Structures are given as structure tokens and as C-alpha cells.
């Protein structure tokens, strides 16, 4: 599921949606960023060549690099001005290939049209995004109801929604990505 498909699924949860698309996209980025900050998502790539690796487009920060034996492989980041990319170099003199490079994913900068969001985070991000969109939507609904002299007592307040967001942030923290353990072998 892409980010736009996720947003479309959340839109379907509203019978009346008064929040316009630019704000919805901004709130989508906020929801993904909040998940990134509180829980994080880890991805792994295999390195088969003994050459620096161009960082993946969704790269945020390195976590760990191990060789095929599971031993730690030191690595360093370098910015290549010619290609305008982060390059990852490996101290691989004693490493047994292929290497396994693990990194944190930058969910804030993903392409909303094409990037496939991991299935394990979709539910939490959808629920959080729904509440984020509900806050301005409820405020607009309340204004419309007040203008029409209708009962606004059934419309949730922003304080109630903020309480929901706080509970969801705690749930995200409980889903925090667990960093893998490493072994360091003396040679």
C-alpha cells in the first residue's frame, strides 16, 4: 500500500470530510513522521560487491552491518558531492560476503505515489492519521452546526482528540523497532 492509498483508505472512514487535500497530505506526512520518531522502521539490504554502497532513497540512519557469519562490520558514511548522494563504505578486509546492512527508514521523505509502506505499520499510521484529520474536520463541523443553530454537543472536542493522539503516541512507543544485537569477534 502506498501512502496515497493509505490516505484514501482513511478518507473512506469519514461520512463528511471538510479538510481539503493539501492539508490531508500535510497531515499524512505528520503521521508518518510521528511514527518514524516514536517507533521507527528498520530495513535491511544485502551488499554483494566490495565497493561503497549508495544509500537507499529511504535511508535515515545506519543501524548495523554484519557479514554472512553475523560478525559486526565497521562502516562509515560519506557525502559524494558529484552524485549528491550519501555513500556507505565498509571496512571489509576480514568480512565474509554478502554483508547485511540494516538502516532506519526516513518515512517523512518517501514518494507518496510509489513507496510501499510496510504492512506492519499501516494500521497504526491509519488510525493516527484519522484522528489528525478529525481535529480540523470536527472544528469545521462544529462551526457549521453552530451557524445552523444545531446541537454541537455530539461533536468531539479538540481536547478529546488530543487525548486520543496522546494514547496513540504511547502505543507507537510500545511498537518501537528493536535494534538487532551484534557480536564482535577478536581476530
Confidence of residue 44 (pLDDT cuts 50, 70, 90): very high
Residues 103 and 46 in one domain: yes
Give pTM, 2 decimals.
Answer: 0.88
Number of domains, the chain: 2
Determine, yes or no, domain membership for 184. Answer: no
Tell me if 89 sits within 8 A of 78, measured CB to CB.
Answer: yes
Segment 145-169 shows an average pLDDT of 89
122 Cβ partners below 8 Å, 6+ apart? 1, 6
Residues 97 and 148 in one domain: no
Host domain of residue 70: 42-107
Residues 128 and 168 in one domain: yes
Output the pLDDT for position 133: 98
- CA atoms within 13 Å, Cβ hemisphere of 34: 21
Segment 87-99 shows an average pLDDT of 86
Residues 46 and 103 in one domain: yes
Residues 12 and 103 in one domain: no
Determine, yes or no, domain membership for 136. Answer: yes
Amino acid at each position: 500500500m502506498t501512502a496515497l492509498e493509505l490516505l484514501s483508505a482513511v478518507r473512506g472512514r469519514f461520512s463528511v470530510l471538510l479538510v481539503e487535500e493539501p492539508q490531508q497530505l500535510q497531515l499524512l506526512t505528520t503521521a508518518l513522521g510521528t511514527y518514524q520518531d516514536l517507533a521507527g522502521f528498520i530495513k535491511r539490504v544485502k551488499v554483494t560487491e566490495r565497493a561503497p554502497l549508495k544509500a537507499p532513497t529511504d535511508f535515515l540512519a545506519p543501524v548495523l552491518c554484519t557479514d554472512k557469519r553475523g560478525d559486526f562490520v565497521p562502516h562509515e558514511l560519506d557525502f559524494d558531492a558529484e552524485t549528491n548522494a550519501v555513500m556507505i563504505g565498509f571496512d571489509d578486509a576480514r568480512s565474509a560476503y554478502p554483508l547485511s546492512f540494516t538502516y532506519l527508514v526516513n518515512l517523512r521523505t518517501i514518494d507518496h505515489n510509489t513507496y510501499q509502506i510496510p504492512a506492519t505499520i499501516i494500521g497504526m499510521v491509519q488510525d493516527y492519521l484519522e484522528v489528525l484529520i478529525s481535529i480540523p474536520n470536527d472544528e469545521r463541523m462544529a462551526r457549521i452546526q453552530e451557524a445552523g443553530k444545531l446541537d454541537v454537543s455530539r461533536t468531539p472536542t479538540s481536547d478529546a482528540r488530543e487525548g486520543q493522539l496522546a494514547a496513540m503516541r504511547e502505543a507507537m512507543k510500545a511498537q518501537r523497532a528493536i535494534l538487532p544485537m551484534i557480536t564482535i569477534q577478536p581476530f
